[in-house]
Structure 1
Amino acid sequence: MNDFKIVFSGTTGAGKTTAIAAISEIPPVKTDVLNTDDTLDKAYTTVGLDYGEITLSNNERLRLFGTPGQERFEFMWRIVVRDALGLVILIDNSRAAPLEDLSLYVHAFRSALDTVPCVVGVGRTEHHTRPSIDDFADHLASFNLSLPIIPVDVRQKDDVTTLLHILLAQIESDVHTS
């Protein structure tokens, strides 16, 4: 069986743990602890790595790694993305400055984005319509990046599966154009 790494990264509260739990075939490994940061509206937060797995029909396994979202763990993001087949960046559109949040991850993963296919999932767009998906695309264009960006509800298996399908289509396209 061939194993491939997919990394989920993004802002605290964007749903990395939830997304992995929604699609993993195994009970996900979580490293959540009681949140002591009163600026975050959540009871628990990830301080290590989340982990899950999906077996593809061709007997290949996707190993799903979720990073902690706090900026102080940025050093970890660059380590985890090494040798990754793909990257999913999740942004919470209900936060004060989601475009700035995206900038943080673009800067952190800039060198990886030259070789690692990536998709951006924007959550909580149903009640927070601004910035729009087009605004995110324009923002990425300011970095000379053109990445798929889709609204996502990480609680919904179908939404997370769509993110992975888009990512895997990019990977497949890269294989055939190399």
Structure 2
Amino acid sequence: MSEVKLLFAGPMGAGKTTAIRAISEVEPIATEVANTDLVESAKLETTVAMDYGQLTLDNGDTLRLYGSPGQRRFDFMWRLLADGALGIVVLLDNSRADPLADLEHFVVAFAPMIAAGRVVIAPGRLETHPSPSLDDYLARLDALGHFVPVVPADVRRRDDVLRVLDVLFEQIELAEETESVDGDGDEWLRFVQQARAT
């Protein structure tokens, strides 16, 4: 049995804690405190270190689910939490003032993982805030020189979060197939295929 780390990232209020809670089989551990940055977000609490949950696959392997703090002043934590992660889900909130600027910020922060094909972008709240559209996200990513899947998600819904992870696993599988230089590719490929099967 093996353990693999996945990271949920995104700005404050994008739903990282909620997404982990939607799929975790254990009560998530959260480091939430009262939000003192009401300019950034009107939510009452915010994550200051990380969230943590886990999901066991059918073969006994464990996905360790980490959520990063969303405030930019904690961006040093993003790199620490991304270290050793198999992949990253960047959650975005379409109700924020400038979600495309948020996208750019996280694309820069996780550029190495994007280059490795291990990131998926998941905008939320599109039903109440349809702009920017999915095409707008794809156009901005293209302008930045990146091809990254964009999958809409309501992070309160388990099926939506699992669909985002399925797309992430497809990305990782493709990356493993094209890179498999280090000899660990086959083991990772088996893990990703098993994860997709759950």
TM-score, scaled relative to structure 2: 0.87
Match of 2:122 in 1: 121
Q: Is the 8 Å Cα contact of residues 7 and 64 (structure 1) preserved in structure 2?
A: yes
Corresponding residue SS for 1:48: strand
* Separation in structure 2 between the aligned mates of residue 130 and residue 148 of structure 1, nearest angstrom: 18
Q: Is the 8 Å Cα contact of residues 117 and 148 (structure 2) preserved in structure 1?
A: no
Match of 1:161 in 2: 162
* Separation in structure 2 between the aligned mates of residue 63 and residue 175 of structure 1, nearest angstrom: 20
Question: Structure 1 stretch 109-118 or stretch 37-46: which is displaced more?
Answer: 109-118
Match of 1:37 in 2: 37
Match of 1:97 in 2: 98
1:176 CA drift (Å): 2.6
Q: Would you say 1:74 and 2:75 are equivalent positions?
A: yes
1:105-161 Cα deviation digits (max 9, x unpaired): 011111232225111100100011111000000101112111110111000111001
* Separation in structure 1 between the aligned mates of residue 108 and residue 35 of structure 2, nearest angstrom: 26
Count of matched residue positions in the alignment of Structure 1 and Structure 2: 178
Q: Would you say 1:111 and 2:118 are equivalent positions?
A: no
Match of 1:139 in 2: 140
Q: CA RMSD in A?
A: 1.1
Corresponding residue SS for 1:169: helix
| Greater gyration radius | 2
Percent identical pairs in the alignment equals: 49
Q: Which amino acid aligns with 1:29?
A: I
Corresponding residue SS for 1:151: coil
Q: Which structure has the highest helix share of the two?
A: 2
Q: Is the 8 Å Cα contact of residues 117 and 175 (structure 2) preserved in structure 1?
A: no
Q: Is the 8 Å Cα contact of residues 116 and 175 (structure 2) preserved in structure 1?
A: no
* Separation in structure 2 between the aligned mates of residue 3 and residue 116 of structure 1, nearest angstrom: 20
Structure 2: where are the runs of 5+ without partners? 181-198
Q: Which amino acid aligns with 1:11?
A: P
Q: Which amino acid aligns with 2:152?
A: P
* Separation in structure 2 between the aligned mates of residue 57 and residue 172 of structure 1, nearest angstrom: 18
* Separation in structure 2 between the aligned mates of residue 166 and residue 84 of structure 1, nearest angstrom: 16
Q: Is the 8 Å Cα contact of residues 120 and 148 (structure 1) preserved in structure 2?
A: yes
Q: Is the 8 Å Cα contact of residues 3 and 60 (structure 1) preserved in structure 2?
A: yes
Corresponding residue SS for 1:152: coil
